Structure 1
């Protein structure tokens, strides 16, 4: 029965957070006041606060009370990255999901990209041009390009997911850019095609550019993995 009671409190608090009635940093009423409000014992309230804390929606400060804590974007992506790492998903699975996400982004970007979005993409593209030869900077701007592409959709969830999967593969992307300097030129040609397609609202060409970009990335990642495996085997001999 107590489980049902604390679940009711959790549901109510979550609903108020989603509606914006409770904002980040809001101090929740004391256990006594919460118990009176929901007509439950203080133990039930403590359990509700504990569950909310486990969800990352409440921070409990001993002697001070409980405060609403809305997870920041970087915390969300970090937790998702950790969950994927723990699940031991292989590279092919990760790239498959990324392809699905990039295709979804591409279709919506064609429809919803604003002039400001396009201007931002062009600025990032130009920074990437200037960064060719600087592996670290080029790789970071490459990640920024795809995040900005996701922002064209106006869908925050897509932005978070693209950010997550970019961060999962960024070390290998850096390695690729280090080992194969010429890939920057091909990547830039594909990025240019994407920007042009968005400007012209040409979904067909946009999808072709995205598919080419992700398929090339998958092939390059496989080449890199094969090279690393061979090196590992050679080191054992």
Structure 2
């Protein structure tokens, strides 16, 4: 008789259920790139949840580049969304040995080069967006908000490369990392938040100063420190 080692079922948070539903709608084409989502109030009523839960879900999806929240206009599906790749890739990674360590290797390859490219190509608007997320990390009221701002910081660097393919790959990797290691990242930020923010500031300064080598070096140092601070199974 085949014996399987099942793990206890964990109850998802409400916002995570909303995230999964929206991802599925985008994946199956019910929501298309560029399409505007219903208002937070309408979504909350349809789902039978609070507006706060809807807002948290939308913020999480914006952080990984799936949605675009435009103040005064509404929330839109990003044109660069590749959510259809999330589920199959996540399943493959679940079957791999040490998927976290492998994802960090992917980040090391991708993000060091993206930082270098951003230093060469970032517009003033790109620099403003990177700086804004850095400031959000500093002023966040909770650890969770700091981690969300951290994620958006890295995504805006990817945007600053002006390379659509890199942006798409970053979307996928960031989503997998965020979902799989959110708790560990929050614990790490709680312990070394000041150090992490300083590392991000050094990356931003190098990009702002158009110093590609320094941007690449500072990003590598940051990713190495993050990997050292998280124990991957």
> Do they fold alike, i.e. is TM over 0.5?
yes
Q: What are the Cα deviations for residues 92-142 of structure 1, in whole angstroms up to 9, with x where unaligned?
A: 2111111000112012111111100000011111111111x6121111111
1:176 deviates by 3.2
Choose from 88, 93, 96 the match for 1:85: 93
Choose from 128, 147, 152 the match for 1:139: 147
Residues 128, 157 of structure 1: alpha-carbon distance in 2 compared, 3 angstrom cutoff:
same
Partner of residue 118, structure 1? 127
Q: Any unmatched runs of 5+ in structure 1?
A: 1-22, 25-70, 227-237
Choose from 127, 134, 137 the match for 2:136: 127
1: distance between equivalents of 2:156 and 2:189?
25
1:169 aligned onto 2:157: no
1: distance between equivalents of 2:81 and 2:110?
18
2: distance between equivalents of 1:153 and 1:177?
27
1:197 aligned onto 2:202: no
The total of aligned residue pairs comes to 155
Q: Any unmatched runs of 5+ in structure 2?
A: 1-31, 34-78
1:86 deviates by 4.8
SS in structure 2 opposite 1:73?
A: coil
2: distance between equivalents of 1:137 and 1:88?
30
**Any conservation in 2 of the 1:102–1:210 contact (CA below 8 Å)?**
yes
Of structures 1 and 2, the larger Rg is shown by 1
CA RMSD of aligned residues (A): 2.5
Q: Greater helix percent: which structure?
A: 1
1: distance between equivalents of 2:122 and 2:133?
15
Structure 2 counterparts to residues 1-237 of structure 1, below 5 A: 73-79=81-87, 81-88=89-96, 90=98, 91-131=100-140, 134-170=142-178, 171-178=180-187, 181-222=190-231, 225=232
**Any conservation in 1 of the 2:189–2:196 contact (CA below 8 Å)?**
no
Residues 109, 76 of structure 1: alpha-carbon distance in 2 compared, 3 angstrom cutoff:
farther
**Any conservation in 1 of the 2:82–2:171 contact (CA below 8 Å)?**
no
SS in structure 1 opposite 2:190?
A: coil
Bigger mean CA offset, 115-124 vs 185-194: 185-194
Bigger mean CA offset, 94-103 vs 175-184: 175-184
Higher RCO structure (Cα 8 Å, ≥6 apart): 2
Q: What are the Cα deviations for residues 13-39 of structure 1, in whole angstroms up to 9, with x where unaligned?
A: xxxxxxxxxx98xxxxxxxxxxxxxxx
2: distance between equivalents of 1:101 and 1:158?
8
**Any conservation in 1 of the 2:188–2:229 contact (CA below 8 Å)?**
no
